[in-house]
Amino acid sequence: MDNQSTRILSEIIQRRRTRKPAQFSKTPPPIELITELIDIARHAPNHHRTEPARFYLLNQEKIRQLGKLFGETLTGDGKDPVLVEKGSRKTMEWGEAPGILLVTCKTDKSSGLVRKNPAVIEEDYATCSCICQNLLLLLESENIATKWSTGAVWEHSNFANTIGIQDPENERVVGIIFYGYSEQLVPERSLSPLDQHLKTY
Ligand SMILES: Cc1cc2nc3c(=O)[nH]c(=O)nc-3n(C[C@H](O)[C@H](O)[C@H](O)COP(=O)(O)O)c2cc1C
């Protein structure tokens, strides 16, 4: 690999690791930078040009509310002390995060496009996943650590209302992206040998 762009991109892809939000610095990265990176990240392959991703960039108050909802979701009816403990731990961990971006995928299932091409539902989700990875890599390149979570906070009956989900019937959460500055060192992840997963003709 002697192309410099390829080297830089490869390095960022391999350096990105999931890091623990509990260890993020309390200082949030600048909102203008995050917004700019979200805009760039949207440049992902998108069949039918549906632009399915919706973004909810939370402030500290919304982050605290989301943490409370997740804690309550985990705690359930409060009868299991293990779940109660986990609920209060996650309320703190989520509620004190310096930055959270919620990414949803909006596909109108009653639209003519989806009725004609049901695959659009999966294709839209694929686009949103690409956008999330684009964003993780852009954040990594700015030395901002991330964690992509699918902790099922949307199961809470107050979720859509608290976050102000614009079209709850047609949006599903793709990722709860935690971001912040972090000193946590995580080594590169080793994968199984490629020849176990690749057939070349
Ligand atoms: C769609 C998706 C959902 C994830 N949800 C969670 C989650 O709910 N909780 C969690 O601890 N990690 C979650 N992760 C992070 C993965 O656990 C992590 O990517 C994996 O362990 C590989 O580590 P790496 O990201 O450092 O390469 C999620 C990742 C993806 C792509």
Taking the CA of residue 17 as reference, the ligand 1 atom at the shortest distance is 26
Ligand 1 binding pocket includes 134 (Cβ within 6 Å): no
Residue 111: DSSP 8-state: S
Q: Answer yes or no: is the C-beta of 18 below 6 A from any ligand 1 atom.
A: yes
What is the distance between the alpha carbons of residues 182 and 133, in angstroms, rounded to a whole number? 19
pLDDT at residue 2, rounded to an integer: 78
- Rounded to a whole number of angstroms, the distance between the first and last alpha carbons of the chain is 22
The rounded Å distance from CA 181 to ligand 1 centre is: 18
Give the whole-angstrom CA distance, residue 121 versus residue 72: 30
Q: What is the mean pLDDT of each run of 10 residues along the chain (201 residues)?
A: 91 97 97 98 98 98 98 95 96 97 97 96 98 98 98 97 98 98 94 97 98
pTM to 2 decimal places: 0.97
Nearest residue (by CA) to ligand 1, atom 15, is 148
E strands along the chain, which residues?
53-57, 100-106, 145-149, 171-180
Whether 149 lines ligand 1, by a CB cut-off of 6 Å, is yes
pLDDT for 119: 97
Q: Which CATH number fits domain 14-196: 3.40.109.10, 3.40.50.2000, 3.30.470.10, 3.40.50.360?
A: 3.40.109.10
For 156: left if phi > 0, alpha if psi spans -120 to 50, otherwise beta; the answer is beta
d(CA 175, CA 113): 25
The preferred substitution site among 74, 150, 174 for testing ligand 1, maximizing ligand atoms within 8 Å of CB, is 150
Q: Which atom of ligand 1 is nearest to the CA of 147?
A: 15
Of 190, 180, 151, whose CA–CA distance to 19 is shortest?
Answer: 180
